[in-house]
Amino acid sequence: MATLTREAMVAARVPEDIIRDVFAVNQDAASSLFCATCKSHISKKKTRPKLCLANGLRLPNVPDSLSQLTRLEERLVAPRHVFQTIWLVMGIHGQY
């Protein structure tokens, strides 16, 4: 994780529209944490991070009825089910 500040982005001559989009969640913040991928995208000054609000990554609000479900109920109503199995390889002392 890397912290980027507005002042550093202005000093690096990042366009104002990209700065506004990067800080879309909290417009008043002076700095924010970013992963290495987002930081590299922002540092290029030409593009916004691939997964950002400006590019359509806006997750829907979770209704109260769904936030009260148990883990089992969540899995039963999930649109996609992830199945994972762990296999023992190379006999009893092998890796998983």
Q: What is the pLDDT of residues 53-91, one digit of tens each?
A: 666 667 778 888 888 999 888 888 887 767 666 667 776
Q: Range of 45's domain?
A: 2-55
With respect to residue 83, please indicate whether it lies within any of the assigned structural domains: no
Asked whether residue 61 is domain-assigned, the answer is no
Please report whether residue 73 resides in a domain: no
pTM of this structure: 0.47
Overall domain count for the chain: 1
> pLDDT band at 25, cuts 50/70/90?
confident
47-84 burial, b if ≥16 CB within 10 A, otherwise e? Answer: ebbeebeeeeeeeeeeeeeeeeeeeeeeeeeeeeeeee
Rg value, the chain, Cα: 21
Q: Is residue 22 part of a domain?
A: yes
Question: pLDDT band at residue 51, thresholds of 50, 70 and 90?
Answer: low
Considering the domain boundaries, does residue 38 fall inside one? yes
pLDDT digits (tens, 9 = 90+) for 30-47: 887 777 777 777 777 666
CA pair distance 36, 11, nearest whole angstrom: 20
Q: 96 in a domain, yes or no?
A: no
Q: Is residue 64 part of a domain?
A: no
Q: Which pLDDT does position 56 carry in this prediction? A: 66
